[in-house]
Amino acid sequence: MNKIFQKTGMIFICVVLIALPRFNRNQLWLERPQADMAIHTAMVDYFRTGNVQEILLSKDSIAANWRPLFPFMASWLPFSPITSLSIIGILSIFFSAMLLKRIITKLKISNQNMWRCIYLFVISFPTFYYTTIGYVDPGLILFITLGIYLILLQKIPLFLLFFGFGVLMKEGIIVLIPFYIFYVWSKNKSKKNIFLKFGIICFIYLTVSYFIREFSLNAAEGHTLFWQPSFDMLFYNFNRPNSWLSLILTLGIPGMIVLKNASNLKQIILSHSMALPLIFGIIFSLITYLFAFISTVADGRTVWAAYPFLIPLVGYILDNKRSLAIGDE
């Protein structure tokens, strides 16, 4: 028991140490615009005081107004808005790591490789760069990870409830849909069952999305969403080094491990029923990045949503390599 507490404490310390350099959106050597941070801090203030700042009614705040859950959670802390957002970000990544530990254990990945995977998740570029800068993405990672865990426990009603709340965290929660459907398919290949489950989860996503858009703070302003696919945005991101650099850094070591062992994925899929749902979760996360690439300023944090699927898949790969090594002996 003491060892478990020690290891849990080490994970928490690692999250804090990795995320601390950018705490409260410390720019370090980078001069970056405040982007969504200013909107999220204004939302924290709104939930505390009811004061609607002008930025919350602007065209730039359309998408941020659809993501109220993270600022709402931060509004309960007795600190400045940006500090509260940063603390909730750290806690989100810590609890995501703890849920990943349970997920990987449930997938029967070896204990040694389980801890390797947890540290790969924590000691990563996105934990360092995105956790404490006033963005909602750490909350999205938490809800995706929680969703995977509830699916594995087969607590589907509870999963669907938290999935609905996840839509209020960020629309990127949609990456859970292909994972869920392929999980259902792996357990029951009845087309009727699959279409029913697909219809239910899509209904939840679309319904919550509709109501949050209709009743958001700036809904009456009549703004239209600026995420419109265009050749202009494609050329802009194609020639923008940060669009590529942030993608490569975010995928990082876990992405390299998967790419390097791509030839072994077929064997892993045949050996582990959960491998295919994880792979489709990763693929769909990459598709959301491709959509961002042609419709808005692309950033690697979109691909961060792949981590709750990517890290367990890395665990499968590491265990497979271990089995092959033992077999060679």
Tell me: the pLDDT tens digits for 33-79? Answer: 566 888 899 999 999 999 888 888 877 777 788 899 999 999 999 99
Residue 161 banded pLDDT, cuts 50, 70, 90: very high
Amino acid at 46: Y
Q: What is the pLDDT of residue 62?
A: 77
Residue 297 banded pLDDT, cuts 50, 70, 90: confident
Q: What is the pLDDT of residue 328?
A: 47
Amino acid at 56: L
Q: Enter the tokens of residue 83.
A: 């500090």
> Distance between CA atoms of 19 and 9, rounded to whole angstroms?
15
Compute the CA torsion angle 97, 80, 32, 73 (nearest 10 deg): 40
> Distance between CA atoms of 316 and 251, rounded to whole angstroms?
17
- Average pLDDT along the chain: 90
Please state the separation of Cα 292 from the chain's center in Å: 15
User: Rounded to two decimals, what is the model's pTM?
Assistant: 0.94
How big is the chain by its Cα radius of gyration, in Å? 20
322 in Cβ contact with 288 (< 8 Å): no
> Distance between CA atoms of 287 and 221, rounded to whole angstroms?
31
By three-state DSSP, how is residue 98 classified? helix
Total Cβ atoms within 10 A of residue 196: 12
Residue entry with tokens 């969504």: 36
Terminal Cα-to-Cα distance of the chain (whole angstroms): 35
Residue 137 banded pLDDT, cuts 50, 70, 90: very high
308 in Cβ contact with 152 (< 8 Å): no
Q: Please say if the pLDDT value at position 324 is more than 60.
A: no
> What secondary structure letter does DSSP report for 151?
H
Domain boundaries, the chain: 2-328
- The Cα angle at residue 91 between residues 88 and 93, in degrees rounded to 5: 110
Q: What is the pLDDT of residues 78-128, one digit of tens each?
A: 999 999 999 999 999 999 999 999 999 999 999 999 999 999 999 999 999
144 in Cβ contact with 177 (< 8 Å): no
CA 3, 5, 7, 13 dihedral sign is negative
Taking each helix axis from N to C terminus, what angle separates 176-187 and 137-152, rounded to the nearest 10 degrees?
10
Residue 130 Cα distances to 49, 70, 92, 104, angstroms: 27, 14, 12, 24
162 in Cβ contact with 114 (< 8 Å): no
- The Cα angle at residue 137 between residues 286 and 20, in degrees rounded to 5: 120
CA 236, 258, 167, 138 dihedral sign is negative
Cα atoms found within 13 Å of the Cα of residue 294, Cβ hemisphere only: 8
Residue 223 banded pLDDT, cuts 50, 70, 90: low
